[in-house]
Amino acid sequence: MVTKLKLMIDDLFEKEKKSLTPERGFNLVGIDYFGDSDDQLYLIENFDMYQDALNAKKNRKNPKEYFILYKGPGGEFLSH
């Protein structure tokens, strides 16, 4: 069962992801689990090539705690 609080947190998380999505390139973003609920994501680095961002993510101690944000060809917000 999904609670109202979880939906609110997910909405804040999506807003943060959109604000950190670059117009060009690929942003490697980390999650600060101890940060405020509306400020849990932080930019690590912007890359011109997806493969470079993916390699940087894989080289992190806990790769599952990081993701790559970018815009698709239609301007949609995407993450991996």
- Give yes or no for residue 2 having a pLDDT over 60: no
Confidence at residue 30, expressed as pLDDT on a 0 to 100 scale: 92
Asked if 80 and 74 count as a contact pair (C-beta separation under 8 A), the reply is no
Question: What would the pLDDT profile of 12-70 be if each residue is shown by its tens digit?
Answer: 678 888 999 999 999 999 988 787 766 789 999 999 999 999 999 999 999 988 999 99
pTM: 0.82
Structure tokens given for 37 = 């609920």
3-class SS at 51? helix
